[in-house]
Amino acid sequence: MEDYIKNTIQCMKVFHLLKLPDFVSLVNLLFGMASIFFAFGNSYSIAAACLLIAAAADGADGYIARKISGGPLGEHLDSLVDTVSFGIAPAVIIYCMGGSFLAIVTVCFYVICGVLRLARYNAFPSKKPEYSGIPITAACVFIASFIIFFDRLIHFSFEIPYALELLCVLMLLLSILMVSTISYPKVMKKFSFVLLIILFSATVLSLAVDSVYVTVFPGAMCLLMMLYLCSPIARLIKKTDSIHI
């Protein structure tokens, strides 16, 4: 019994290794788990909103970690949490929305690509101001934004034919982009981060307001993510023009 108590106390010491950024990562994890619970309860828009909050926490822990020294668990904890919140959780939402063969294949492929994306990032860390492949967090935010946008449109009697199929196609595209080597910019500036937090908050709060006008917030979120998705094309065009000049 005494040995059992000693071993338990020894195991509990892992909590002493946690620093402030790690606690923010755990907030990310809790909202990722909440998203899964809401998805199984058929509350898909609320599940998607939880993912936006998880994404905000993910950005916050990175920002805090750059300002203060993180703990030894930080990098590993962050990837494990991201697997749950931005890999498994959105896959569960899409599966629960319609457990068709297409949805099953799509979500499995998405989770595989998401895990590979995180593993590659850990195995080959880069100090460049760019990501190799679209980040899993951005992919999840894109999917969550469209789920909320579609939900708001349907709530206000707008017809969206093949909504689930469109989400599956989007998820497949994002899966391929995650494991690609296409360069995507990092959101490092404080102004950009604050702007995203405001837009995330407005999109989440739009679910609590019964007005068609609030649809503009998830719509703006989708547009912003579309611009981010297409940003490598714009940069390529700009680079080509500079070469011709």
Read off the tokens for 168: 């599956």
3-state secondary structure of 161: coil
Q: Are strands 130-132 and 183-185 parallel, antiparallel or unpaired?
A: antiparallel
Q: Which amino acid, one-letter code, is at 103?
A: A
Query: How many whole angstroms separate alpha carbon 133 and alpha carbon 224?
Result: 18
Query: How many whole angstroms separate alpha carbon 97 and alpha carbon 83?
Result: 20
Unique residue bearing structure tokens 């909320």: 148
- The predicted pLDDT at position 10 comes to 57
First to last CA, the chain: 78
Rounded to 10°, the helix 136-155/89-97 angle is: 30
- The predicted pLDDT at position 90 comes to 97
Read off the tokens for 182: 């296409």
Read off the tokens for 229: 């998705």
Close Cβ partners of 130 (under 8 Å, ≥ 6 residues apart): 183, 184, 185, 186
- The predicted pLDDT at position 8 comes to 58
CATH of domain 19-244: 1.20.120.1760
> Tens digits of per-residue pLDDT, 57-81?
998 887 777 777 666 776 788 889 9
pTM for this model (two decimals): 0.88
Q: Which residues of the chain have pLDDT under 70?
A: 1-12, 69-71, 74, 188-191, 236, 238-245
> Tens digits of per-residue pLDDT, 176-202?
999 999 999 887 666 677 788 888 999
Please state the φ and ψ torsions of residue 131, each to the nearest 5 degrees. -95, 150
Q: Which of these, 97, 125, 94, lies nearest to 111 by C-alpha position? A: 94
Q: What is the DSSP letter of 128?
A: S
- The predicted pLDDT at position 168 comes to 94
Read off the tokens for 37: 């619970």
Q: Which of these, 144, 145, 143, 116, lies nearest to 132 by C-alpha position? A: 116
- The C-alpha R_g of the chain, in whole angstroms, comes to 19
